[in-house]
Amino acid sequence: MATHSFAVSPEDYPRPLNVMGDTVSVLARLAQTGSYAITIVHGKAGDGPPPHRHDWNESFFVVRGSVDFSFRGCEACAEAGSLVHFPAGEIHSFTFGANGAELLEITGPGSRAVEMFEALDREIPAGANDGTRIAEVLAQNGVEVVSGTPSHD
């Protein structure tokens, strides 16, 4: 996959995606970098994905606020300046803290995160709570929703 140098300023960001009431700005796609995608996620207090897994690595850097992450039977409150990493296949979830938060998300080779965010923006209206349809859209984009609490597989 050929890549080239590039710079992205806030005025260059594409339209923010509305992902179930939160916003996601795509900064870089796999096709641009050759191996990873980068997004900025602005989440409201209490929002966040259910326990899930996917076949790509994923790292989060907390830019602002706090985020409660769950993985391998653990809970971790990550404050601004914290980095949290999940290897491919690990069940995880997170919830944005009391004042909401901003995350820089970096997903690894094979990631379909950007496509998933675009599909959620396109197919699930903000405020909709159709768990079955949401799970279908996630599955179509390589994300498996897992019931229960994230634990070690």
What local confidence, expressed as pLDDT, does residue 106 receive?
98
Element (H, E) at 118: helix 113-123
Question: pLDDT (tens digit, 9 = 90+) per residue, 32-71?
Answer: 999 999 999 999 999 999 999 999 999 999 999 999 999 9
Q: Are residues 107 and 36 in contact, defined by beta-carbon separation less than 8 angstroms?
A: yes
Given pLDDT bands bounded at 50, 70 and 90, which one contains residue 153? Answer: very low
pLDDT score of 103 = 98
- Give CA–CA dist 106/37, Å, rounded: 6
pLDDT digits (tens, 9 = 90+) for 66-115: 999 999 888 889 999 999 999 999 999 999 999 999 999 999 999 999 99
CA-CA distance, 85 to 12, in Å (whole number)? 27
* Bridging pattern class, strands 17-19 and 22-28: antiparallel
Contact 101, 65 (CB under 8 A): yes
